[in-house]
Amino acid sequence: MTTVDGPVLPKLIGERVKRREDPRLIQGQATYVDDIKLPGMLHLAFKRSDIAHGVIRSIDTSAAAAMEGVELVITGAELAETLGPMPIGTPFPAPDHYSVATDKVRYVGEPVAVVVAEDRYLARDAADAIEVEYDELPAVVDPEAAMEAGSATLHEGFERNIAVESYWGGTGVNPETAQPEDDSAVDAAFAEADVVVSQRMLNQRLAPNAMEPRGVVAQYEPGREYLTVWSATQNPHILRTLVAAMMGLGEHQVRAVAPEVGGGFGCKINIYGEEYVAAALSRMVKAPVKWIEDRTEAFLTTTHGRDLLGYIDLAAKNDGTILGLKARIIADIGAYEVLLTAMIPTLTGLMMNGVYRLPVVRHELTEVFTNKTPTDAYRGAGRPEGLYFLERAVDMLARELDMDPAELRRKNFIPTDEFPFATQGGLIYDSGNYEPCLDKALDVAGWQEMLAERDAARAEGRIVGVGLSFYVEVCGLGPSAVVPTGGWEHSGVTVERGGKVTATTGASPHGQGNETTFAQMLADHFSIPLEDITILHGDTSVVKQGIGTFGSRSQAVGGAALISAAGKAGDKMKQFAAALLSEHEVAPEDLVFEDGRIQVAGAPEVSKTFAEVADFAYIPVPLPPGMEPGLSEESFFEPENNTYPFGCHISMVEVDRETGEPKLVKMVAVDDCGNVINPLIVDGQVHGGLAQGIGQAMFEEVVYDEDGQPVTASFMDYVMPRAADLPTFELDNTVTPTPVNPLGAKGVGEAGTIGSTPCVVNAAVDALAPFGVTHIEMPLRPERLWRLIQENGGQS
């Protein structure tokens, strides 16, 4: 074989390529919203409610308006004349929700007036000078009490504060009638059970705490009738759609930009009142305006996550065969429904099938308004709640039956040959192969050794427990039928003059590393160096279309769109190359990309360089018949189904007998997210997910007092997990590709928060089992554990 000059380019898919975006992010060279400074820019500050529930009696803005440098002070009622109620993205009934409260406040932090001023400090001083008088109403804090007759109500037309009620069960939904079938099968399953475990469990309220708080800059240019909005958002295209609608503009008049975004975790999916207000006020004052959320505002007003109460019953035979599940879920959704609020808890029930053959399920869901910050997606968004309830219940069953928790799970796994598998909730699991993942996790963790270590520690009088969980989750959101925004993703690939490649993706990253993984894919596709590729994102004037990044979709859906667009560009490029190689009578389909060339497969001497062909595409003389010049292609990818990654997590917890302090001493995660583009980035996603999942199990909780006042509105009281709280994670994986996209990749962004939370609580319960403990509510507060020990006289 003839050789040619030039380096051989290694394949990059599957390699631990370092994140290309990190140097600028960690050297202060990145542009976040707060770095944007426009000439003549004014600053917003919001006057916010300091009570949980009340009628606004009066707002006196005179002192604020009189301050030198204050451009405008406007109340919610005044703003409502130009800005209507905010849109939501779910089909559920919802009360009107204005960007700024018009007549009533329903949670601490809800805005009641806005100041526009020359600088941020002055704006805040003016906001403090606004006097608001309220007629206070009783705060609705407990979601169960909220549903009782006689409770104060938040919204007219929502009796007993109930936002959503849903029910399904029996043998599932009849696909022909779309109605729940008779659920006598559930009663029958429970009647024939040898054992039933029942537990009330709280999946507590959490604050997402992205490192970068929210922020927005809006610039309305009256002369052009054109609005530009920069926002710390996960989905600039959705922002564009909704801001345009709220402003009475068309999408052709709005550009939305997500510059560098410092974490989202779901809380930056929602389009917030502050974004609409900034756009509206920029038009009103004819100047660009900026608002940057401070950390206190983030605790009070950025959507919270979780807050589901579950009454769970699991029925089984003595041999461990699971017969049925009953779940009654009460979701405390806070004061309003925002973009996806009402949809998130519905995912919980859908995912409670877990990895098991569940013959029957009965599921009841009630979503309840309370005087708290609205909830929405938070990393995992419905799945962590469902898997927590299920995996805790399965663990309780193992304890009740005195079975090894791994073996009980194995016994009930959906067999590998039953995929695709239709769950009781109507989902179709794409692929799964659970036993090898369980075996690998048991092996990596050294499960038997861990049990021996635990028993030896107990013999010494120490309090040690081991825990295991096995999860399945749903990723790759789409398809469009189930995602209110549309479930496709868009990508554009342009081969530039000189043979460099620029690609765009609508999956707007905020920590996912798409600039690296997508470049790896293109580098392999075109066989060119990684540094010859730029991935652009986040700007609707650059990225023609898009949905955004949530639900672990950027690789499975966005990556598939990218590779589809690259395929189109590559095919056209081969046609140009064939024209250039016409003396060799080469057909485009005979050509391959190889080490910076386009060549006949196996014959590198019959080739043109990648750059030569790219240049020819832009000066195509003569233009090959039937072709247009240029190499710029785009693709919309619509997935046929979601993907269902899974994994097994194992942990060990030791509790201080005297203080109740828990310490996580071992954490093993074996995840299966299908094909992996970049194991380093997958590991990073798992690390971050584990930290947040462990954070929920051990540390984090948003707490309100009986008056609806938040008592955890700063990092002095809200316990974030820190590096020193976490052991070295032991990671491994299995690979079960998905058939629903050409990459075989499933998604991994949320895996860590789903498996680790029940795993760690299971370990803590195991630790305290000798004290007669069967359940511990999260987070694992030292005093809570200490009391459980004390209740048993301190003796195991």
Interface positions with another protein (CB under 8 A) = 45, 120-121, 124-125, 128, 294-296, 658-659, 661, 699, 703, 711-712, 714-720, 722, 781-783, 786-787
What one-character-per-residue DSSP string does 325-359 give?
EEEEEEEEEES---TTTTTHHHHHHHHTTTTB--S
Tokens of 480: 């469009």
With H, G, I as helix, E, B as strand and everything else as coil, classify residue 609.
Answer: strand
d(CA 163, CA 330): 11
Query: Whole-number minimum distance, CB 45 to another protein, in Å?
Result: 8
Using the minimum distance from each CB to another protein, give the nearer residue, 294 or 455.
294
Query: Whole-number minimum distance, CB 659 to another protein, in Å?
Result: 6
Report, in angstroms and rounded to the nearest whole number, the Rg of the chain calculated over CA atoms. 28
Query: Whole-number minimum distance, CB 119 to another protein, in Å?
Result: 10
Tokens of 412: 């009930």
Using the minimum distance from each CB to another protein, give the nearer residue, 398 or 780.
780
Start-to-end CA span in the chain (Å):
75
Q: How far is CA 339 from the centre of its chain?
A: 14
Query: Whole-number minimum distance, CB 98 to another protein, in Å?
Result: 25
Q: Is 58 exposed, middle or buried (0-12, 13-18, 19+ CB in 10 A)?
A: exposed
Query: Whole-number minimum distance, CB 107 to another protein, in Å?
Result: 19
Query: Whole-number minimum distance, CB 417 to another protein, in Å?
Result: 47
Using the minimum distance from each CB to another protein, give the nearer residue, 296 or 609.
296
The pairing of beta strand 254-257 with beta strand 289-292? unpaired
- Using alpha carbons, select from 774, 770, 747 the residue that is nearest to residue 639: 747
Using the minimum distance from each CB to another protein, give the nearer residue, 178 or 716.
716
Query: Whole-number minimum distance, CB 719 to another protein, in Å?
Result: 4
Query: Whole-number minimum distance, CB 725 to another protein, in Å?
Result: 8
Query: What CA–CA distances, in Å, run from 374 to 57, 151, 331?
Result: 23, 19, 11
Task: Give, for 195, the enclosing helix (H) or strand (E).
Answer: strand 195-206
CA angle, 602 then 608 then 610, to 5°:
105
Query: Whole-number minimum distance, CB 647 to another protein, in Å?
Result: 28
Q: Are 650 and 450 in contact (CB under 8 A)?
A: yes
Query: Whole-number minimum distance, CB 776 to another protein, in Å?
Result: 16
Using the minimum distance from each CB to another protein, give the nearer residue, 95 or 727.
727
Using the minimum distance from each CB to another protein, give the nearer residue, 619 or 716.
716
Query: Whole-number minimum distance, CB 469 to another protein, in Å?
Result: 23
Using the minimum distance from each CB to another protein, give the nearer residue, 577 or 785.
785
Using the minimum distance from each CB to another protein, give the nearer residue, 538 or 708.
708
- Using alpha carbons, select from 205, 266, 304, 388 the residue that is nearest to residue 756: 388
Using the minimum distance from each CB to another protein, give the nearer residue, 425 or 662.
662
Using the minimum distance from each CB to another protein, give the nearer residue, 577 or 764.
764
Using the minimum distance from each CB to another protein, give the nearer residue, 45 or 238.
45
Using the minimum distance from each CB to another protein, give the nearer residue, 155 or 306.
306
Using the minimum distance from each CB to another protein, give the nearer residue, 125 or 435.
125
Length of the chain: 796
Query: Whole-number minimum distance, CB 716 to another protein, in Å?
Result: 4
Query: Whole-number minimum distance, CB 374 to another protein, in Å?
Result: 22
Instruction: Examine residue 420 and say whether the peptide bond preceding it is cis (omega within 30 degrees of 0).
Output: yes
Query: Whole-number minimum distance, CB 720 to another protein, in Å?
Result: 7
Query: Whole-number minimum distance, CB 502 to another protein, in Å?
Result: 39
d(CA 554, CA 678): 14
Using the minimum distance from each CB to another protein, give the nearer residue, 116 or 189.
116
User: Under 8 Å CB-to-CB from 20, ≥6 apart: which residues?
Assistant: 515, 516, 519, 530
What one-character-per-residue DSSP string does 475-529 give?
BS---TTT-TT-S-EEEEEEE-GGG-EEEEESS--SSS-HHHHHHHHHHHHHT--
With H, G, I as helix, E, B as strand and everything else as coil, classify residue 579.
Answer: helix
Query: Whole-number minimum distance, CB 204 to another protein, in Å?
Result: 13
Alpha-carbon torsion angle 151, 152, 157, 163, nearest 10: -70
d(CA 469, CA 651): 9
Query: Whole-number minimum distance, CB 115 to another protein, in Å?
Result: 12
d(CA 332, CA 346): 13
d(CA 430, CA 710): 42
Instruction: Examine residue 93 and say whether the peptide bond preceding it is cis (omega within 30 degrees of 0).
Output: no
Using the minimum distance from each CB to another protein, give the nearer residue, 28 or 175.
28
d(CA 343, CA 429): 20
Count the helices and strands in the chain (H runs, E runs): 20, 28
d(CA 467, CA 447): 10
Using the minimum distance from each CB to another protein, give the nearer residue, 96 or 705.
705
Using the minimum distance from each CB to another protein, give the nearer residue, 190 or 704.
704
List, in sequence order, every beta strand (DSSP E) within 23-86: 42-48, 54-60, 70-75
504: left (phi over 0), alpha (psi -120 to 50) or beta: beta
